Protein backbone atom coordinates (compact mmCIF):
# COMPACT_ATOMS: atom_id res chain seq x y z
CA UNK A 1 0.00 0.00 0.00
CA UNK A 2 1.54 3.35 -0.98
CA UNK A 3 2.31 5.80 1.80
CA UNK A 4 0.07 8.84 1.78
CA UNK A 5 1.34 12.27 2.72
CA UNK A 6 -1.16 14.28 4.74
CA UNK A 7 -2.42 17.56 3.35
CA UNK A 8 -0.80 20.73 4.71
CA UNK A 9 -2.16 22.17 7.93
CA UNK A 10 -3.04 25.84 7.96
CA UNK A 11 -2.72 28.53 10.60
CA UNK A 12 -4.77 27.82 13.71
CA UNK A 13 -5.38 24.14 12.94
CA UNK A 14 -3.10 22.68 15.65
CA UNK A 15 -4.28 23.03 19.24
CA UNK A 16 -1.51 22.87 21.85
CA UNK A 17 -2.54 21.56 25.27
CA UNK A 18 0.14 23.10 27.49
CA UNK A 19 0.11 24.14 31.13
CA UNK A 20 2.08 24.00 34.37
CA UNK A 21 3.33 20.42 33.90
CA UNK A 22 2.78 19.98 30.17
CA UNK A 23 4.61 21.43 27.19
CA UNK A 24 4.64 20.95 23.44
CA UNK A 25 7.31 20.03 20.91
CA UNK A 26 7.80 21.00 17.28
CA UNK A 27 10.32 18.96 15.29
CA UNK A 28 11.31 20.74 12.07
CA UNK A 29 12.28 18.25 9.38
CA UNK A 30 13.54 18.31 5.79
CA UNK A 31 10.93 18.16 3.01
CA UNK A 32 11.89 14.60 2.07
CA UNK A 33 10.57 13.41 5.45
CA UNK A 34 6.97 14.43 4.63
CA UNK A 35 4.61 11.63 5.65
CA UNK A 36 7.11 9.89 7.94
CA UNK A 37 6.55 9.38 11.65
CA UNK A 38 9.03 10.69 14.20
CA UNK A 39 9.00 8.95 17.57
CA UNK A 40 9.88 10.52 20.93
CA UNK A 41 10.11 9.02 24.40
CA UNK A 42 10.96 10.19 27.91
CA UNK A 43 14.66 9.65 28.66
CA UNK A 44 13.87 8.28 32.13
CA UNK A 45 13.14 5.57 32.88
CA UNK A 46 14.96 3.81 30.07
CA UNK A 47 12.59 1.95 27.76
CA UNK A 48 9.70 4.36 28.32
CA UNK A 49 6.89 4.09 25.76
CA UNK A 50 7.27 6.15 22.62
CA UNK A 51 4.76 8.44 21.01
CA UNK A 52 4.84 9.66 17.43
CA UNK A 53 3.68 12.40 15.11
CA UNK A 54 3.67 12.64 11.32
CA UNK A 55 5.82 15.13 9.46
CA UNK A 56 3.62 17.31 7.30
CA UNK A 57 3.65 20.72 5.74
CA UNK A 58 2.71 23.43 8.22
CA UNK A 59 1.57 26.71 6.67
CA UNK A 60 1.87 29.85 8.75
CA UNK A 61 1.78 33.56 7.99
CA UNK A 62 5.58 33.66 7.56
CA UNK A 63 5.56 30.79 5.04
CA UNK A 64 5.66 27.02 5.30
CA UNK A 65 7.82 24.24 6.65
CA UNK A 66 7.78 20.50 7.29
CA UNK A 67 7.27 19.61 10.94
CA UNK A 68 5.94 17.04 13.39
CA UNK A 69 3.96 18.53 16.28
CA UNK A 70 3.50 16.95 19.71
CA UNK A 71 0.77 19.11 21.28
CA UNK A 72 0.97 17.83 24.88
CA UNK A 73 4.02 16.18 26.49
CA UNK A 74 4.63 15.94 30.23
CA UNK A 75 7.55 18.16 31.27
CA UNK A 76 10.89 16.34 31.24
CA UNK A 77 13.79 15.20 29.08
CA UNK A 78 13.00 13.37 25.83
CA UNK A 79 14.85 11.37 23.21
CA UNK A 80 13.94 11.99 19.59
CA UNK A 81 14.44 8.79 17.58
CA UNK A 82 15.95 8.60 14.08
CA UNK A 83 14.86 4.95 13.86
CA UNK A 84 13.97 2.11 16.24
CA UNK A 85 17.45 2.00 17.81
CA UNK A 86 19.20 5.27 16.92
CA UNK A 87 18.61 8.55 18.71
CA UNK A 88 18.55 11.69 16.58
CA UNK A 89 18.81 14.00 19.58
CA UNK A 90 17.43 15.10 22.91
CA UNK A 91 15.18 17.91 24.04
CA UNK A 92 13.87 19.23 27.35
CA UNK A 93 10.15 19.98 27.61
CA UNK A 94 9.13 22.67 30.11
CA UNK A 95 5.57 23.09 31.35
CA UNK A 96 3.70 25.88 29.62
CA UNK A 97 6.29 26.20 26.85
CA UNK A 98 6.84 25.03 23.28
CA UNK A 99 10.23 23.40 22.62
CA UNK A 100 11.70 23.30 19.12
CA UNK A 101 14.10 20.81 17.55
CA UNK A 102 15.67 20.85 14.09
CA UNK A 103 16.18 17.37 12.59
CA UNK A 104 19.90 16.73 12.07
CA UNK A 105 21.26 15.75 8.66
CA UNK A 106 22.12 12.10 8.16
CA UNK A 107 25.70 11.19 9.00
CA UNK A 108 28.13 9.96 6.36
CA UNK A 109 27.53 6.42 5.09
CA UNK A 110 29.95 3.85 6.51
- Residue 1 in this model has a pLDDT that exceeds 50: no
pLDDT band at 14 (very low <50, low <70, confident <90, very high): confident
User: What is the tens place of the pLDDT at every residue in 30-83?
Assistant: 999 999 999 999 999 988 999 999 999 988 777 788 999 999 999 999 999 999
Pairing of strands 37-42, 63-74: unpaired
What distances in angstroms separate CA 93 from CA 19, 79, 102, one per listed residue? Answer: 11, 11, 15
What value does the CA radius of gyration of the chain take, rounded to a whole number of Å?
A: 14
Report domain extents, the chain: 35-102
Amino acid sequence: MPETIPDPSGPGTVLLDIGSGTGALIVYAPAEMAGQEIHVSPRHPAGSPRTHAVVRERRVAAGGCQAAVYPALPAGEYTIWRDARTAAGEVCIHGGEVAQYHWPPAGPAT
